[in-house]
Structure 1
């Protein structure tokens, strides 16, 4: 089934980003190494936000911090503007995009395709994400495979 997988624009973007950063294995996915390669400053605090080259990540579990890093990095790489002056609907759209980015950034498709065991626990352990995050990401990946298989058959 994986032979017919066609990447989305976001999947290509993230794969190209990781290629640029010379990251190709899950054990290379760390906040510190990625932030250093992107010249970002990481701070830990009581809430999460992005301001210029500074990302503040709410202090939590390592899994939650990784997921929040993916979300905030999505804002940093793909969004501009000041949330204080934006329409609420546009803010909601940017939040949706940052969440979607985080799923693909924290558990990249090109790495999932190389994973021998596609299970929730394997994704949790391999990519250092929480249970609910792994469930959602595996569901996203399997739905895409299923849709592409249907398109291939039809």
Structure 2
């Protein structure tokens, strides 16, 4: 399977941190290995840059699954984005949020870990299994599995087209 740039980045990022299996995928472990501070509060989750350091603030009233998903979203802002979203053009803010959401799906359920599971169907049992393995919500696991399955289908179609052209 070929990887997108994002999938490559996520695999390299986690490998550099020594996170190579789903049991190590949790925000406390990642934050610790990055030297990133995480705080809990009543407000919406967000990443802040204060005095030369990044901090992630997670809503303390959310489920552990929602906090993990939010952490990965906010981690994208830490890794890739600059600027105060409150003072940027709305379309650019929307673009950053779109990118952070895409990163979130790949960071919570990385392709390199997903493909080791040899998933070959899209049943509710498989989705529940992904939900448990990667500590995400059911709808989140469903959407990520759909992304992954669609990519596999597109690769098969591309490979068939390439073979037919020879």
Identify the TM-score tier after normalising by the shorter chain: over 0.9
Of the structure 1 ranges 47-56 and 7-16, higher mean CA displacement relative to structure 2 is found in: 47-56
Structure with higher RCO (Cα < 8 A, 6+ apart): 1
Partner of 2:130: 123
Hey, what's the Cα distance between the residues in 2 that align with 1:126 and 1:10?
21
TM-score computed with the length of structure 2 as normaliser? 0.88
Q: Deviations over 1:78-134 (max 9, x none)?
A: 111111221000000000000000000000000000014462111101000001100
How many residues align? The count is 150
Partner of 2:58: 57
**Cα-Cα RMSD:** 0.9
Hey, what's the Cα distance between the residues in 2 that align with 1:96 and 1:27?
27
Match of 2:116, SS state, is coil
Change (3 A) 1:145 1:117: closer
Matched, 1:102 2:99: no
1:51-90 to 2 correspondences below 5 Å: 51-52=48-49, 53-59=54-60, 60-90=62-92
Hey, what's the Cα distance between the residues in 2 that align with 1:61 and 1:33?
18
Match of 1:90, SS state, is helix
Unaligned runs of 5+ in 1: none
4+ long deviations beyond 6 Å: none
Out of 129, 132, 155, the position equivalent to 1:148 is 155
